Structure 1
Amino acid sequence: MSWIDIGALEDVPLRGTRLVKTKLGCIGLFRTGEAEVFAASNTCPHKGGPLNEGIVHGRRVTCPLHNMVFDLETGAAQGADEGRIETFPVRIEAGRILLDVTALARSAA
Structure 2
Amino acid sequence: MSWIDLCAIDDIPLRGARRIKTAQGCVALFRTGDTEVFAAADRCPHKGGPLSEGIVHGQSVTCPLHNMVFDLTTGQARGEAMQIQTHALRIEDGRVLIDGAKLRARSAA
Return the TM-score normalized by structure 2: 0.97
Q: How does 1:52-91 map to 2 (within 5 A)?
A: 52-79=52-79, 81-91=80-90
1:25-81 CA deviation, whole Å, 9 max, x = no partner?
Answer: 0000000110000000000000000000000000000000000000001000002x2
- The equivalent residue for 1:24 is 24
| Deviant stretches of 4+, over 3 Å | none
Matched, 1:98 2:97: yes
- The equivalent residue for 1:35 is 35
1:72-97 CA deviation, whole Å, 9 max, x = no partner?
Answer: 01000002x22000000011000000
What is the number of residues matched between the two proteins? 108
> What amino acid is aligned across from residue 84 of structure 2 in structure 1?
I
Structure 1's unaligned 5+ residue stretches are: none
* C-alpha distance in structure 1 between counterparts of 2:55 and 2:41, whole Å: 15
| Superposed CA RMSD | 0.8
Q: Secondary structure of 1:77's partner?
A: coil
Matched, 1:107 2:106: yes
* C-alpha distance in structure 1 between counterparts of 2:58 and 2:92, whole Å: 22
* C-alpha distance in structure 1 between counterparts of 2:104 and 2:82, whole Å: 22
Structure 2's unaligned 5+ residue stretches are: none
Return the TM-score normalized by structure 1: 0.97
- The equivalent residue for 1:51 is 51
